[in-house]
Amino acid sequence: MFWQQTGGGLAVTSLSQRGTGQMQAPQTSAQFFELLEKSGLLSGENIRRAAEKLQLSDDLDARTVAARLAAERILTPFQSERILEGRYRGLVIDGYRVREVLGFGGMGCVFIAEEPGSDRKVALKVLSTEHAQDAGMLARMKLEAAAGMRLNHPGIIRTHRLASTGAVHYLVMDLVRGISLHEIVALRGPLKHGIACDVGMQAALALHAAHQSGIIHRDIKPANFLLENDGTVRVLDFGLAMIEDSAEDEFSLSMVFGHDCLGTPDYIAPEQSLDSRRVDPRADVYSLGATLYVAFTARVPFPDKSNKAKLEAQRTRAPKNICELRPEIPAEVGAVILKMMAKDPADRYQTAAEAAEALRPFAVRKPIPFDFRELVTLRAKQAREKTAAREKGPTSPPRTGAPRSSITNASDWLSGVDSRTVGADSFAAPSTPAARTYVSPSAGSPAGARPVSTAGRAPDGVVSNAGAGANGAPGDARGLSSSGAGQPALPSLTNVAALPQGWHLQLAGSAVRLPLQKPRCAIGCGTRADICVTGAGVDSLQGWLECRGGQWFYRHDSQRFGTQVNGELAVLRPLQAGDRLLFGGSLQLQLQGPAVRGGMPRWVLLLLLVVGLAGAVLVVVQRPGLVQSYLSSGPTSAAPISLPSPGPPAEGDN
């Protein structure tokens, strides 16, 4: 219960609880403050001080209060939104203040959190509710903690603590500003071979350190490598690790998952697919080779449809040489990958350190540009969508010990993103915005975020007008009409009758113009597209051009490929005349407005006017008789104008 000061004294407001950890969504400032105090994020006294300092009166609605607190960095947008939903539990776990969603996976969510009694940020991995009593998942978390606390290597994310509140099991780990190798490849395509070799070399050295400590990872794959901006690689997720002195935990995993096949089918070593307990470090060398295969080619070694077929291929078939898929890769590098993926462990590099030395001559360390805040926003969006889907009912396939590949669903984490989703301010410097809010273009500030910068693939593409009727529903699952905490909704779609005239897309390097005659135009290579863009790197529904309040926006939709606007990956982006949309890395469309399409530009008209006036002045100066004759004739004179005699021809006249 929260006590709020009003003009006439103290008012008491209470909310009726609907269920454990969730109460009725607050409508007033008093109700919002009550849930905020219950969450443990702020004490009642601190809430009172904040309300006084920001002059948050009792007649304000809850959403306005949430926006103010986020803007002043008292709460993060994630915290504000949870309180607005009536979900106050879980924002403080054993004293760790949860700030934002960092990522998610099969075991649960990873949050950015603050350590008790300090401002130090950590990663808090929390086992999901449905797995809280799952012996297999608990065993995996325990293994991950044991490996992470034992290993102290710059290439391995360190675990500091494994604990439980009784209801919540969690790990405390180093917080790393990184993007996974899976995300890089899914979004940008294959890496340059020098960078891929450097990633492999760093990962191999980290794995060698783990092997020397008696730990075999057994689940090496692109999603388990984090790349930092400076190119540093970190290995994570030792949840399936085999630790030489942890027979009890290994037994627990075997009882739950079965001992014959622990790992991911697209990357698992042949011997590991037969008996996961009888492996040595060379199994990780094989999986690293399969992971680098994806980094080099953006495809898995054996893209079979079923897990059974994938496992059989790992045991019996040789992968295609990466040099056949990318001829620019040196043959020596292709040979290294083939040796790492040899079927017989005796034919591979015998240690991960040997594999690292084989890759070293070709390794090139370069920065990996990406926007960490935007990346976390994208992950948070998908985490929310997955949570919503899970709450609707059990629609996902049952869990097994052999999870399916993620790279075969490239950029799945990008699905349905819009830049008004909760911003990720919590990792970084004080200069990081505490709230990502939409500002109307009329207010003089640009809308949208600055997403991850990309360098896409280059297809051969053409553009053509496609059939109409793909308007899409304004209120679909990824519609723009709703808003989060402190984030005003975007303007509604412009009515067809009020649609600005003269706007069109022009294909770069050609005269092809595609008029924008609908407030919502689908772009893609499928039959639903209003604007058909064909070629590699373009999805059937790539995205939408939407006119809202007279302003054009690009909203991304593809789950497989990215779209760049003026060189930056676009999620939700306001557009202006002259902006360039890049699809598949090479196909470029430019948005042009009425001033470009219709009539002459203003500067041309002014130039013609100046030239005309200058000509008239020249006539007056050189032929004064012509003007005098015209004026003396009067306006009603029907006689022809008499031109003065030109006189005898000058020298040189014809």
DSSP string covering 263-299: S-TTT--HHHHH-TTS--HHHHHHHHHHHHHHHHHSS
- Distance (Å, rounded) from C-alpha 278 to C-alpha 595? 71
Mean pLDDT of 454-482: 32
- What integer is the mean pLDDT of 103-125? 85
Selection from 504, 507, 587 nearest residue 547 by Cα? 504
- Band (pLDDT 50/70/90 cuts) for residue 497 is confident
Contacts for 593-599: CB closer than 8 Å, 24+ residues apart: 593/500, 593/502, 593/503, 594/500, 594/501, 594/502, 594/503, 597/502, 597/503, 597/504, 597/513, 598/502
pLDDT number for residue 629: 57
| pLDDT at position 243 | 87
> What pLDDT score was predicted for residue 527?
75
CA-based nearest residue to 138, from 221, 236, 261, 257: 257
pLDDT band at 625 (very low <50, low <70, confident <90, very high): low
Instruction: Report, as an integer, the average pLDDT of 383-397.
Output: 61
CA distance 65 to 59: 10
What is the rounded distance in angstroms from the CA atom of residue 226 to the CA atom of residue 212?
Answer: 22
| Tally of CA atoms within 13 A in the half-sphere of 74 that contains its CB | 20
Contact 423, 433 (CB under 8 A): yes
Q: Compute the distance between CA of residue 574 and CA of residue 524 in angstroms, rounded to an integer.
A: 19
pLDDT at 292 over 80: yes
Mean pLDDT of 25-54: 91
pLDDT of 210 > 90? The answer is: yes
- The pair of three-digit structure tokens given for residue 434, joined into one six-digit string: 């505490």
Residue 454 pLDDT greater than 80, yes or no: no
Least confident piece of the model among 70-74, 469-473, 517-521: 469-473
Q: Are strands 531-533 and 520-524 parallel, antiparallel or unpaired?
A: parallel
For residue 246, name the pLDDT band (cuts at 50, 70, 90). Answer: low
Q: Looking at residue 419, what is its pLDDT?
A: 28
Three-state SS string over 580-604 comes to EEEECCCEEEEEECHHHHCCCCHHH
CATH 2.60.200.20 residue spans of the chain: 423-472+481-599
Q: Maximum Cα–Cα distance for the chain, whole Å?
A: 120
| pLDDT band at 227; cut points 50, 70, 90 | very high
Mean residue pLDDT of the chain comes to 75
Pick the closest to residue 295 from 264, 337, 354 (CA basis): 337
User: Six-digit token pair at 572?
Assistant: 């939700």
Taking residues 533-549, report their average pLDDT.
83
What does the pLDDT read at residue 5?
Answer: 36
Q: What pLDDT is recorded for position 117?
A: 82
Helices 62-71, 77-84: inter-axial angle, 10-degree rounding: 170
pLDDT at residue 75, as a whole number: 93
Predicted pLDDT of residue 37: 92
* Maximum mean pLDDT: which of 292-306, 484-498, 553-567: 292-306
Which residue numbers are catalytic? 219
Architecture per CATH, domain 423-472+481-599, reads as: Sandwich (2.60)
Q: Which among 362, 42, 13 has a CA at the least distance from the CA of 200? A: 362
Beta-carbon contacts of 315 under 8 Å, excluding residues fewer than 6 positions away, are 270, 273, 274, 343
- Position 114 scores a pLDDT of 92
Instruction: Return the bridge partners of 459, or none.
Output: none
CA-nearest of 408, 385, 409, 427 to 179 is 427
Query: What is the spatial order of strands in the sheet that 233-235 belongs to?
Result: 178-180, 225-228, 233-235
Euclidean distance between CA atoms 301 and 341, whole angstroms: 10
For residue 137, report the phi and psi dihedrals to the nearest 5 degrees. -70, -40
For the cut 70, the answer to whether the pLDDT of residue 433 exceeds it is no
Q: Are 439 and 449 in contact (CB under 8 A)?
A: no
Q: Please state which architecture CATH assigns to domain 177-370.
A: Orthogonal Bundle (1.10)
- Higher pLDDT: 264 or 561? It is 264
Q: Higher confidence at residue 595 or residue 173?
A: 173
Q: Of 103-112, 190-199, 447-456, 596-605, where does mean pLDDT reach its minimum?
A: 447-456
The per-residue pLDDT for 532 is 83
Question: Is pLDDT above 60 for 188?
Answer: yes
Q: How far apart are CA 337 and CA 322, in angstroms?
A: 8
Q: Outline which parts of the chain fall under CATH 1.10.510.10.
A: 177-370
- pLDDT for the residue numbered 332: 97
Is-contact 197 340, C-beta < 8 A?
A: no
Percentage of residues in the chain with pLDDT exceeding 70? 69
Reported as a pLDDT band with limits 50, 70 and 90, residue 601 is: low
Count Cβ neighbours within 10 Å for each residue of 320-345 and write b for 16 or more, e otherwise. eebbeebeebeeebbebbbbbbbbeb
In three-state secondary structure terms, 545 is strand
- Say whether pLDDT at 438 is over 80: no
Provide the pLDDT for residue 325: 94
In the block, residue with structure tokens 């689940």: 219
Rounded to an integer, the average pLDDT of 49-77 is 90
Residues facing residue 252 across a β-bridge: none
Task: Assign 211 a pLDDT band (cuts: 50, 70, 90).
Answer: very high
The pTM of this model reads 0.59
Contacts of 65 (CB under 8 A, 6+ apart): 29, 32, 33, 56
pLDDT of residue 275: 87
Average pLDDT value for residue range 213-232: 94
Question: For the chain, how many residues are written?
Answer: 654
Distances (CA, A) of 605 to 492, 593, 596, 611, 614: 37, 18, 14, 10, 14
3-state helix, strand, coil in the chain (%, to 5): 35, 20, 45
- Specify the pLDDT at position 544: 86
Token couple for 449 = 């975020």
Rounded CA-CA distance 8/173 in Å is 49
Tell me what pLDDT residue 530 has. 82
Give residue 102's pLDDT: 87
The stretch 511-520 carries a mean pLDDT of 85
Alpha-carbon separation of residue 336 from 191, 265, 348, 431 (angstroms):
17, 21, 9, 44
Report the candidate in 31, 140, 133, 112 with the shortest Cα–Cα distance to residue 424: 112
pLDDT band at 233 (very low <50, low <70, confident <90, very high): very high
Is the confidence at residue 388, as pLDDT, over 50? yes
Q: What pLDDT was estimated at residue 269? A: 95
pLDDT tens by residue, 402-418: 343 333 332 333 333 33
pLDDT score, position 1: 37
pLDDT in the model for residue 637: 41
Q: Is the pLDDT of residue 266 over 70?
A: yes
If one compares 257 and 288, the residue with the highest pLDDT of the two is 288
Cβ atoms 474, 481 nearer than 8 A: yes
pLDDT at residue 323 tops 90: yes
